[in-house]
């Protein structure tokens, strides 16, 4: 379990960390507790890290806890957020819950409050872990199917999947029957892949035994994204998924493009595509996106026509301080210093 504490008051932040470090819940291992002293620092961490639980103060300079929560809740759907506040206000609590917070703690923070809150969070965490294992098995099966189709370029197989997705979606077949069809498709593809030597698949791979609601939803989603891919390929656009992802990010550099968007567009599930992207590029998706933005920013800064605030907006940053901090971390210079180092008049 990984935890992030976001609190601008040093003693409170350290106090929460100390209390969490002393908790002993059977079967729960706290691997890492990280800290951020304000919303801006937390914003940077959330670009490259995922957490199971986040404690955040509601009132902080530059970026408050609710702003941070509303920005990242959708991209970190498995994270449980706990809002910390010094105000005993129903309105504050209501806003926090509406933004997706799981709990709300009033200052002063006591051991009893931490223990009570953490017990609830752990119960939810354990429940999610069980669900995650089941869905992960389903996702693995679908990932192999999608990758195999990409490698073999099996038009007939794609059409079969599209047909079955349509029937399932329209409830023209009983859901318990489609699992056998999916299993048969996988076996056929594995045999063809083995013959071609395209992918080394573990022969002990086991198909999930029961048809579930989650499997149906995932299957339909994969089929829908595959339809889009097939249409593009039939237009003569043969797509290398990693290069396609890079091209899409560059073309939409000013938009809030995330891993889920790109993976869905290319017909992969997010967890598998994340691993594939890291394997092929040596960087995580988020790291590559940040590096791409910084490289584009450098090129734009080498021209003196654009203001820094305009460059900030051009590459998808909402505020200049965030962009400046990231750029300096990446280059060692602020945007203005970088221009000056090139002898460009600002």
Q: What is the pLDDT of residue 267?
A: 72
Instruction: Name the nearest CA neighbour of 289 among 299, 305, 300, 277.
Output: 277
Encode pLDDT of 97-126 as tens digits.
Answer: 887 898 889 999 999 999 999 988 988 887
Q: How many CB atoms lie within 10 A of CB 169?
A: 13
Residue 137 has pLDDT above 50, yes or no: no
99 with 135, same domain: the answer is no
104 with 135, same domain: the answer is no
**Span 201-230, average pLDDT:** 45
Q: Let me know if residue 250 belongs to a domain.
A: no
Q: Let me know if residue 272 belongs to a domain.
A: no
Q: Which residues contact 2 (CB under 8 A, 6 or more apart)?
A: 30, 31, 32, 33, 34, 49, 50, 51, 52, 53
Q: Let me know if residue 242 belongs to a domain.
A: no
**102: its two tokens:** 């799981």
Encode pLDDT of 158-202 as tens digits.
Answer: 555 545 444 444 444 444 444 555 555 555 554 554 444 433 333
138 with 105, same domain: the answer is no
139 with 105, same domain: the answer is no
Going from the C-alpha of 11 to that of each of 20, 234, 273, the distances in angstroms are: 14, 61, 41
Range of the domain at 328: 285-341
Q: Is the dihedral of CA 196, 163, 235, 273 positive or negative?
A: negative
- With vertex at residue 161, the alpha carbon angle to CA 158 and CA 165, rounded to the nearest 5 degrees, is 140
Residue 329 has pLDDT above 80, yes or no: yes
Q: What is the pLDDT of residue 300?
A: 92
Encode pLDDT of 229-250 as tens digits.
Answer: 544 554 554 457 888 899 999 9
218 confidence band (pLDDT: 50, 70, 90): low
140 with 172, same domain: the answer is yes
Residue 45 has pLDDT above 70, yes or no: yes
Burial zone of 261 (CB within 10 Å; 0-12 exposed, 13-18 middle, 19+ buried) = middle
305 with 336, same domain: the answer is yes
**313: its two tokens:** 């907006």
How many domains is the chain built from? Answer: 3
Of 209, 237, 265, the residue that ends a domain is 237
Residue 281 has pLDDT above 70, yes or no: yes
Percent of the chain predicted with pLDDT > 90 = 33
22 with 99, same domain: the answer is yes
């Amino acid at each position: 379990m990984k935890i992030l504490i976001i609190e601008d008051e040093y003693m409170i932040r350290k106090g929460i960390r100390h209390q969490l470090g002393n908790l002993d819940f059977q079967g729960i291992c706290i691997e890492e507790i990280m800290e951020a002293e304000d919303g801006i620092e937390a914003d940077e961490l959330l670009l490259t890290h995922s957490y199971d639980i986040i404690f955040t103060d509601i009132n902080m300079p530059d970026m408050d806890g609710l702003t941070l929560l509303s920005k990242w809740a959708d991209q970190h759907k498995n994270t449980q957020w706990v809002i910390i506040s010094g105000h005993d206000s129903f309105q504050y609590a209501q806003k926090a819950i509406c933004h997706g917070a799981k709990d709300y703690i009033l200052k002063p923070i006591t051991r009893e409050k931490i223990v009570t809150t953490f017990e609830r969070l752990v119960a939810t965490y354990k429940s999610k872990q069980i669900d995650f294992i089941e869905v992960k098995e389903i996702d693995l099966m679908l990932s192999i199917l999608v990758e195999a189709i990409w490698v073999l370029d099996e038009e007939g197989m794609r059409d079969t999947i599209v047909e079955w997705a349509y029937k399932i979606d329209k409830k023209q077949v009983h859901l318990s029957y489609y699992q056998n069809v999916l299993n048969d498709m996988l076996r056929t593809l594995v045999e063809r892949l083995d013959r071609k030597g395209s992918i080394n698949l573990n022969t002990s791979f086991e198909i999930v035994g029961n048809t579930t609601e989650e499997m149906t939803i995932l299957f339909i989603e994969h089929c829908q994204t595959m339809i889009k891919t097939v249409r593009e390929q039939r237009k003569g656009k043969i797509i290398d998924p990693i290069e396609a992802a890079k091209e899409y990010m560059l073309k939409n550099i000013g938009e809030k493009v995330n891993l889920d968007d790109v993976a869905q567009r290319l017909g992969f599930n997010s967890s598998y595509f994340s691993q594939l992207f890291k394997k092929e590029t040596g960087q995580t998706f988020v790291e590559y996106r940040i590096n791409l933005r910084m490289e584009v920013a450098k090129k734009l800064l080498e021209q003196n026509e654009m203001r820094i605030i305009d460059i900030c907006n051009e590459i998808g940053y909402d505020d200049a301080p965030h962009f400046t901090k990231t750029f300096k971390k990446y280059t060692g210079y602020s945007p203005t210093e970088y221009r000056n180092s090139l002898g460009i008049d600002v």
